Amino acid sequence: MSARHLIVCASMVALVAGCPRQGDGEGQGRSSGGQSTGPVGSADASAIDATNAAVADAGAASEPFPTEPPTAAAGVEFRLPAVRRTRLTNGVSLALVEHRALPVLHVRVILRGAGALFDPRDRPGLASITASLLREGATGMDSRAIAAALDGAGASLDTDVGDDAITLSLQTLPERAEATLSLVGKLLSEPTFPVDELDRLRRRELDRLAQEMAEPAWLSFRPFYRAVYGEAHPYSRFDTTPAALRAMQRSDVVGFHRDHVKGGAITVVAVGAITSDAFSQLAQRAFGAIAPGEVARPTMPAVPAPESRRVFIVDRAGSAQAYVRVGRIGVRRNDPSWAALTVANQVLGASPSSRLFVDLRERRSLTYGVYSRVSAAVDQGVVSASGSTRLERCEDFVTALLEHLDRMGSEPVAADELTRARTVVQNRLPTSIATAGDLAARVAELELFSLGDDYFDRYRERVAEVSSAAVREVGQRYYGSATSVIVVVGPARQLRAKLARFGAVTVLRPAQ
């Protein structure tokens, strides 16, 4: 046992000896602050003597307090199991990984033609509404019957709506796979979209939006994406609006499903205790009734190339803090520079050991938390950093953020810092595939972003090859603040003059 451990143990002995037991006389020997003011008993004195002796011994024997963070352990090698692929007669693609560690089957149904980027301009959120209504009714089944069928099979079904796809995630037992897969296939091929369920969902979403209006981070997203991508870009849309929700009719949902749920734009990923042939047969019976056809992605206009930095203040009067988001356009998920950008993000702000957190929180006390992020997208994602700060320190906070963003491209990363960042990035992969469900998510990532089957097999190698020069290069291309977008949520009257030195300021209403 180390000297520091000895001190802690002796201190705990003293603490226990000096604390009254449950049921002791209330208020005896106590001050208003609840601390003992009575005479020290023999047990207390013995414990204190033991503590003093331990401290004295520890003073001579304790090791120096560490000044360097511990070295990360060597990473674990990983090889993705073989992915077996086939295609159904209506164009639905299948990708199966046999994984027999547990008797469970994880399925991801990826609707590549139905993400949020396919929302009509006057109906933002239509993809999300459609996805939510899929499990609220199918031919011969209402929402209760669907829920009962899933519960009875011991299965779970979730939906997730991203920019590029809607994903249905099913977890089921292999012996119940035929029933549960057939149910999912029915939800996709024969949804009824009941009007009463649409009305209920509309009310719930309106309530959610009202709650989101109190969240500064949520308020920052819409102006940020609009400024980075430009008004005409499908990625510039964020969430829905009360006006769009009130305007949505069942015919909108039916039309979106008809046009965007097509066999040629669906990939079904399965990971679990089942053979490829057996799953193919189940999938043909379950998904064979989905209409064939392809879904064309919308035309992606060129992202604007700004000539200067822009500042947007979302006017939130009465805020005691300011929420800040700074960023610019990034890369496609399958871009060759993704590994270098991921390492750069780790250096900058992906974790509490990164530069932003250590400097802005630990050294300067400007925030409780600040992080950076690189978003994954089929087309170009964004690179951003964000956090909250006190109003009177907002200018200092923005200045510090911009300094760190510029530093990524203006100076090389030290060798030890680069090694730590690469190791952290490499070691995240094994922890992200701890379960069969995690493995299904990684295979779905391969499929959605067209990464190639050897992507994760070579991931550690790619990260290990990232040099200081490569980090500096992506820093110059994607982190330089001269043309970045700055969005600050807070009271404009107190912030506008302070933020004007960073660029032209535009004041917006919340959710504008």
Residue 143 lies in a domain: yes
Per DSSP, what are the bridge partners of residue 138?
141, 191
CA distances from 492 to 91, 180, 216, 392 (A): 53, 53, 14, 13
Q: What is the 3-state secondary structure (H, E, C) of 108-133?
A: EEEECCCCHHHCCCCCCCHHHHHHHH
Determine the pLDDT at residue 71.
Answer: 66
Residue 430 lies in a domain: no
State the pLDDT confidence band at 434, using cuts at 50, 70 and 90.
Answer: confident
**Residues 244, 187 share a domain:** yes
Residue 71 lies in a domain: no
Q: Which pTM value belongs to this model?
A: 0.84
Assigned token pair, 253: 């949902």
**Residues 339, 274 share a domain:** no
Assigned token pair, 117: 């980027």
pLDDT tens sequence across 229-259: 999 999 999 999 999 999 999 999 999 999 9
**Residues 330, 244 share a domain:** no
Least confident of 1-5, 375-379, 387-391: 1-5
Dihedral sign of CA atoms 17, 22, 23, 26 in order: positive
CA distances from 211 to 86, 170, 217, 456 (A): 45, 29, 12, 39
Q: Which residues contact 485 (CB under 8 A, 6 or more apart)?
A: 224, 227, 228, 306, 309, 310, 312, 326, 327, 328
Provide the edge-to-edge strand list for the sheet that holds 485-490: 370-374, 382-390, 321-329, 485-490, 310-315, 504-508
**Residues 208, 165 share a domain:** yes
Instruction: Kindly tell me if the per-residue pLDDT of 451 is higher than 60.
Output: yes
Assigned token pair, 337: 């520079």
Mean pLDDT of 278-294: 96
Determine the pLDDT at residue 80.
Answer: 84
Determine the pLDDT at residue 72.
Answer: 61
Instruction: Kindly tell me if the per-residue pLDDT of 26 is higher than 60.
Output: no
Residue 30 lies in a domain: yes
**Residues 224, 283 share a domain:** yes
**Residues 176, 93 share a domain:** yes
Instruction: Kindly tell me if the per-residue pLDDT of 184 is higher than 60.
Output: yes
Please state at what angle helix 338-348 crosses helix 468-478, rounded to 10 degrees. Answer: 90
Assigned token pair, 264: 């040629």
Closest CA to 505 of 314, 248, 360: 314
Least confident of 30-39, 182-191, 327-336, 348-357: 30-39
Residue 128: give the domain boundaries.
Answer: 84-287
**Residues 262, 150 share a domain:** yes
pLDDT tens sequence across 457-501: 999 999 999 999 999 999 999 999 999 999 999 999 999 999 999
**Residues 197, 90 share a domain:** yes
Residue 303 lies in a domain: no
Mean pLDDT of 46-57: 48
**Residues 141, 56 share a domain:** no
Q: In whole angstroms, what separates CA 383 from the centre of its chain? A: 14
Determine the pLDDT at residue 74.
Answer: 62
Q: Phi and psi (nearest 5°) for 342?
A: -65, -40
Mean pLDDT of 268-277: 94
Total tally of structural domains belonging to the chain: 3
**Residues 402, 263 share a domain:** no
**Residues 255, 359 share a domain:** no
Residue 301 lies in a domain: no
Determine the pLDDT at residue 81.
Answer: 87
Residue 271 lies in a domain: yes
pLDDT tens sequence across 113-159: 999 999 999 999 999 999 999 999 999 999 999 999 999 999 999 99
Dihedral sign of CA atoms 159, 160, 165, 171 in order: negative
Residue 67 lies in a domain: no
DSSP 8-state symbol, 391: G
Least confident of 18-27, 314-323, 326-335: 18-27
High-pLDDT (> 70) share of the chain, %: 85
Mean pLDDT of 445-454: 95
**Residues 362, 262 share a domain:** no
In whole angstroms, give the CA distance from residue 409 to residue 403.
11
CA distances from 180 to 149, 171, 190 (A): 8, 9, 15
State the pLDDT confidence band at 76, using cuts at 50, 70 and 90.
Answer: low
Determine the pLDDT at residue 38.
Answer: 37
The chain-wide mean pLDDT, for the chain, equals 88
Q: Which helix (H) or strand (E) holds 190?
A: none
Q: Which residues contact 297 (CB under 8 A, 6 or more apart)?
A: 113, 117, 378
CA distances from 300 to 76, 157, 236, 304, 349 (A): 39, 32, 11, 12, 30
State the pLDDT confidence band at 43, using cuts at 50, 70 and 90.
Answer: very low
Domain CATH number, residue 160: 3.30.830.10
Closest CA to 358 of 419, 421, 309, 311: 421
DSSP 8-state symbol, 329: E
Pairing of strands 370-374, 382-390: antiparallel
Cβ-based neighbour number of residue 100 at 10 Å: 11
- Pair 265, 80: CB distance under 8 Å: no
High-pLDDT (> 90) share of the chain, %: 81
Answer with the one of 12, 28, 61 that is the final residue of a domain. 61
Q: Which residues contact 187 (CB under 8 A, 6 or more apart)?
A: 134, 135, 138, 146
Determine the pLDDT at residue 464.
Answer: 96
State the pLDDT confidence band at 6, using cuts at 50, 70 and 90.
Answer: very low
